[in-house]
């Protein structure tokens, strides 16, 4: 639910749209599915949310307006992060927790 709340704050700041508890629960469920079904670690989701918060509205940054669009466009967010110089390297001992370095 924390990640859904963070996403809601980002969307609210950009679109001036409020989210109700039902919508927030739906977004949290999409993030849970991203983790459980697609195998995206919570660490990767947190890194993507932080990067998105700082780059929302930028050129070639995917538009995310819901938990579903975050899930659907997650790979595109990470691609945009890499274009921005963020390297996502898989740790050999734990594939679910990537190391993220900013290469500026």
What are the extents of the domains in the chain? 2-102
How confident is the prediction along the chain (104 residues), in pLDDT tens digits per residue? 788 898 888 888 877 778 888 999 999 999 999 999 999 999 999 999 999 999 998 988 999 999 999 999 999 999 999 999 998 854 422 344 444 555 54
Q: How many residues are present in the chain? A: 104
Q: Say if pTM beats, i.e. exceeds, 0.85.
A: no
Rounded CA-CA distance 83/68 in Å is: 23
pLDDT, residue 84, reads 92
pLDDT, residue 101, reads 52
Rounded CA-CA distance 87/16 in Å is: 32
Are the C-beta atoms of residues 84 and 51 closer than 8 Å to each other? yes
């Amino acid at each position: 639910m924390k990640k859904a709340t963070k996403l809601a704050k980002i969307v609210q700041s950009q679109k001036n749209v409020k989210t109700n508890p039902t919508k927030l629960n739906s977004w949290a469920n999409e993030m849970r599915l991203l983790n459980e079904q697609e195998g995206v670690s919570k660490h990767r989701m947190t890194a993507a949310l932080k990067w998105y918060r700082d780059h929302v509205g930028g050129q070639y940054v995917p538009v995310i307006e819901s938990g579903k669009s975050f899930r659907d466009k997650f790979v595109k967010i990470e691609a945009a992060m890499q274009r921005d110089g963020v390297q996502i390297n898989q740790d050999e001992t734990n594939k679910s927790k990537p190391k993220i370095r900013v290469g500026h």
